[in-house]
Structure 1
Amino acid sequence: MLHTKIPQIDEIVEEAINQATLQGEPQLVCIVNQIDRTDSIAFLDRANKIDKHRMFWRSADEAFVLAGVGSAQRIQSADQHRFNEVESVWNDIQEKAKVYDSINEKGTGLVALGGFSFDTQQVNRSPWEAFPDNQMTIPMYLLTNKDEKSYLTTNILVLEEDHAQQIIHQIKSDQQQLLNGIREEVNLPHRSNTEEISPDKWKVSVEKATEDIKNGELEKVVLAREIRLKFSREVELAAVIENLSNTQDNSYIFAIESGGDYFVGATPERLARVDNQELVSTCLAGTAPRGRNDEEDQKLGQTLLQDPKNRQEHDFVVQMIREAVEACCLDVEIPKSPVVYPLSNLQHLYTPVTATLEQGYTLLDVVGRLHPTPALGGMPQKKSVDYIRSHEVLNRGWYAGPVGWFDGKNNGEFAVAIRSALIQKNEASLFAGCGVVEDSDPEAEYQETGVKFKPMLSVLGGY
């Protein structure tokens, strides 16, 4: 049931058609209602019958979920200044849109969800043909679950030739399906094949990188590798999200559907969040497995804290984030030493960063400065990205890029798209990387990436 506190939809649509006719351009209309509590995964599953462009976001540290379907408008840019260009288009959209929102809650109203590729200059598009270098989407329908309340945002791009009753009928039909439609309970299919892509070649690339680092070409580089899976039938997006949500408690759960392909993941790594001008970022680098019991778990955590290679890798990230955040923030606070951050399958070195965003700067300004951090690219930043482009044995696409959301109230959050998979019908590509420094051992790094594959492998049919 919709709890309506805005003008009737008939009036809103008629007015939008009149404005589109007068101004000679489409009118974006945004309507927000509080609704009865609605399950986000059921909403996402029912949306499959409406549109093949779905989006999902679950916060790692608060009761906050976004589930979107369809596209009222998309913002794309292949420009090297893509973060600034996206910001510019977003500002123009906000200025022209007509928003009916008496709720005024974070994540309601005009909201864009999506992400950015790791590197705009990678030539080989396979297997990422369905994903442009960046895509931020204002969904037609957006469910926002915050604490115990649910809100539905409806975004309509109205053209002057549109017929009001046709639009209204479509909206009511879609809302009925999304909120009350029958959900088909779907389980994950059987995994029929697992293939590691060029593991020996990857180890050789790690060995080559250590030599290049010793020769002074760069200080650190992150090299990723790929595992490909096949299944007995097509993989349903809602089933993956449900499984991730049930097993990855301290992670951001995300999904972006584009052209029928899904990019999904459960990442522990926040890039940046802005809430009422307060910025939070995260330094997360250095990895160890979880123990079989509390004693072993604590021992592995202490070993991680004291390991020179992991501490060096973590410090690279801390210093780079400090520099990026100080360029556009006040009151920057960073603890002197990291702590261990436990996840379901892994534990990491963790240092939080808090600050106040200066007036005139936005979340995308921070994301553009931070991406890619040394935890995903290396040091120095440009040299490491160039090195990855030339030497890595895969095309990262959106893997290790920023993925997240922002709204018209200057709130938003982006995470780093690791612990992720690109799912294409009955196949999936999984990605994991590790930081290579001068004393890295190829076999040890190979084993570390194996540990990092576990969250997605455990969801997609076990290890």
Structure 2
Amino acid sequence: MNAKPPRHALAEAFAEAVARARRKGTAVLASVGMPVAMPPSLDYFARWYDTCGDAFYWKAREPSLTLCGHGRVATLAASGNGRFATLAARWKTLIDDAVVQGGHAPLAIGGCRFDSEGAHAKHWRGFDGADLAVPALVLASDGQTHRLIVQRMLDASADVDAEAEACLAWLEVSETAPSTMHPLPEPLHSIELPSADWRCKVEQALDAIDDDRFLKVVLAREACQRHAGRLPVATLLRRLDEQASNAHVFAFARGDACFLGATPERLVRVEGGHLKTHALADSIRRDDVEAADLALARALIDSTKDRHEHELVVRAIVDALAPHTVALNVPATPEVKRLPRIQHLCTPIRGELRDGTGIFDLVAALHPTPAVAGLPRDDAMRHIRAHEGFDRGWYAAPVGWVDGRGDGDFLVALRSALVRDGDCRMYAGCGIVRGSDPVAEYTETCLKLTQMRDALAHGAIRHVPTLHADPAMS
């Protein structure tokens, strides 16, 4: 980092927090920020993940922001249908009493489960209903300036000098600890539902659509790739970052597990009372030949089925945002968003927030969007719970951050995977509407899984044997 907070700056902020804690009768958040020379990096994430376990990495595009941090001085946790309102209330309580020095607002970061009502699989332990950490240390960069934020919860009995010394000692460890970028172990096999069984699920969904139970449902599938040794998540994350150069990259470590991905989709970003989001739905593959690639993009734009499905998503997002905004800017026609292996229809949406509206209000209104659940939302969710056959956990759910000014950014956790020891559970889904072809939908999920499979590739090994999961278990 090449610069550390002066001890007196930490001690001054900590002393003020302790004094405030005595007056309030409860612990108070102290947040100290300062510019530094070194930006956040995957090397820092690797060190902190190995030494702390509770670490995160975040690299968003448009606008550029990279965050890297570790530790947890406070937790914003909630469950059930009102979880986002609970998070907002708990964050406001922390911020209202916080001592902030250095001009950088305090920050909390994390995610939540896709479904607040679904059953919890044991491999998702540690990734709770809604869980945002207030990190002990954050490195942040917008590509031009880099900053360090140190955060502590201090009660009336806290030893200010000891707390300051502990912070400085940990920063020293962060500087001197060796990098832990290790090679990826050899893959053994992948466990997943047979393609014919997943196509049957699509056919069930089409029957339900024909019976007018819903207009659209998003069905996903899980593939668990096993390896000969523990997967080094920082190495995997670096590969994802290199391969998905125009996606948002994220990782949230909880003990011996890490949820990570490189998603093309933003749920909502708020800055200075304005929101930024997009409708991202319907896709087609890329081609190495430019003329063929452009022809595929034109076919996507001209597809009646795809344009109809995309318009459903746009309309649902606009309807969800309307009560929270005074103005929305929505283009009449979508554009094509190109990723390395796939291209999507995309409609950017901008808006001005109503007074009193916060980012958690928007997350609650938008999630789950029709792009990850379906329409109508409640009917689609009931079908997913009854027929999809696995626990999505944090897959396709909001992951993101909020700061003390009320600004924040939440992504939709697509193209993602849960890594625990040598297992990598990866996820992909697609929207089913009237006219969907089960074979084509399965092919689309294979295309979406390619990003994670390529990042896991081991030397010349490209084909990983597949073991079929028991359909009775799904």
TM class, shorter-chain normalised? over 0.9
| Residue 174 of structure 1: how far off its partner (Å) | 1.0
Task: Output the aligned Cα RMSD.
Answer: 1.8
Q: 8 Å contact 1:126–1:395 — kept in the other structure?
A: no
| Residue 48 of structure 1: how far off its partner (Å) | 2.7
Counterpart residue identity of residue 205, structure 1: K
User: Aligned with 1:2: secondary structure?
Assistant: coil
Determine whether 1:363 maps to 2:359: yes
User: Aligned with 1:88: secondary structure?
Assistant: helix
Query: What is the match of residue 42 of structure 1?
Result: 43
Partners of 1:50 and 1:31 lie apart in 2 by: 23
Which moves more between the two structures, 172-181 or 367-376?
172-181
Which moves more between the two structures, 58-67 or 375-384?
58-67
Q: 8 Å contact 1:202–1:393 — kept in the other structure?
A: no
Cα distance per residue 1:211-241 (max 9 Å; x no partner): 1100111111000001111112111222122
Query: What is the match of residue 447 of structure 1?
Result: 443
Q: 8 Å contact 2:44–2:174 — kept in the other structure?
A: yes
Counterpart residue identity of residue 45, structure 2: L
Query: What is the match of residue 56 of structure 1?
Result: 57
Which moves more between the two structures, 256-265 or 342-351?
256-265
| Residue 207 of structure 1: how far off its partner (Å) | 0.3
| Residue 189 of structure 1: how far off its partner (Å) | 2.4
Query: What is the match of residue 244 of structure 2?
Result: 248
Determine whether 1:88 maps to 2:84: no
Q: 8 Å contact 1:2–1:35 — kept in the other structure?
A: yes
The within-5 A match list for 1:332-351 is 332-351=328-347
Partners of 1:230 and 1:390 lie apart in 2 by: 27
User: Aligned with 2:52: secondary structure?
Assistant: coil
Cα distance per residue 1:119-163 (max 9 Å; x no partner): 111124232122111111110000101122211101111234433
Query: What is the match of residue 213 of structure 1?
Result: 209
**Aligned pair partner of 1:263 in 240, 259, 265:** 259
Query: What is the match of residue 3 of structure 2?
Result: 2
| Residue 169 of structure 1: how far off its partner (Å) | 2.5
Q: 8 Å contact 2:181–2:232 — kept in the other structure?
A: no
Partners of 1:74 and 1:405 lie apart in 2 by: 13
Counterpart residue identity of residue 343, structure 1: L
User: Aligned with 1:130: secondary structure?
Assistant: coil
The within-5 A match list for 1:9-408 is 9-102=10-103, 104=104, 109-408=105-404
Q: How many residues align?
A: 458
Counterpart residue identity of residue 232, structure 1: A
Q: What is the TM-score normalised by the length of structure 2?
A: 0.93
Query: What is the match of residue 429 of structure 1?
Result: 425
Determine whether 1:409 maps to 2:410: no
Which moves more between the two structures, 241-250 or 315-324?
241-250
User: Aligned with 1:429: secondary structure?
Assistant: strand
Counterpart residue identity of residue 391, structure 2: N
| Residue 5 of structure 1: how far off its partner (Å) | 7.9
Partners of 1:208 and 1:49 lie apart in 2 by: 44
User: Aligned with 1:80: secondary structure?
Assistant: coil
Q: 8 Å contact 2:13–2:99 — kept in the other structure?
A: no
Partners of 1:84 and 1:198 lie apart in 2 by: 40
Cα distance per residue 1:238-293 (max 9 Å; x no partner): 21221111111111101111232111010001111111112111110011111021
Partners of 2:19 and 2:326 lie apart in 1 by: 46
What percent of counterpart residues are identical?
29
Partners of 2:142 and 2:4 lie apart in 1 by: 16
| Residue 180 of structure 1: how far off its partner (Å) | 4.3
Partners of 2:318 and 2:412 lie apart in 1 by: 17
The structure-2 alpha-carbon separation of the partners of 1:178 and 1:364, relative to structure 1 and needing over 3 Å to count, comes to same
Partners of 1:225 and 1:432 lie apart in 2 by: 6
Counterpart residue identity of residue 37, structure 1: M
Partners of 1:375 and 1:205 lie apart in 2 by: 18
Partners of 1:14 and 1:330 lie apart in 2 by: 42
Partners of 1:204 and 1:152 lie apart in 2 by: 51
The structure-2 alpha-carbon separation of the partners of 1:455 and 1:49, relative to structure 1 and needing over 3 Å to count, comes to closer
Q: What is the TM-score normalised by the length of structure 1?
A: 0.95
Counterpart residue identity of residue 243, structure 1: R
Partners of 1:4 and 1:402 lie apart in 2 by: 33
Where in structure 1 do 4 or more consecutive aligned residues deviate above 4 Å? 3-7
Partners of 1:9 and 1:58 lie apart in 2 by: 28
Q: 8 Å contact 2:418–2:424 — kept in the other structure?
A: yes
Which moves more between the two structures, 279-288 or 436-445?
436-445
User: Aligned with 1:265: secondary structure?
Assistant: strand
User: Aligned with 1:127: secondary structure?
Assistant: helix
Which moves more between the two structures, 4-13 or 137-146?
4-13
Q: 8 Å contact 2:28–2:94 — kept in the other structure?
A: no
Partners of 1:365 and 1:124 lie apart in 2 by: 25
Partners of 1:87 and 1:198 lie apart in 2 by: 42
The structure-2 alpha-carbon separation of the partners of 1:49 and 1:225, relative to structure 1 and needing over 3 Å to count, comes to closer
Partners of 1:374 and 1:419 lie apart in 2 by: 17
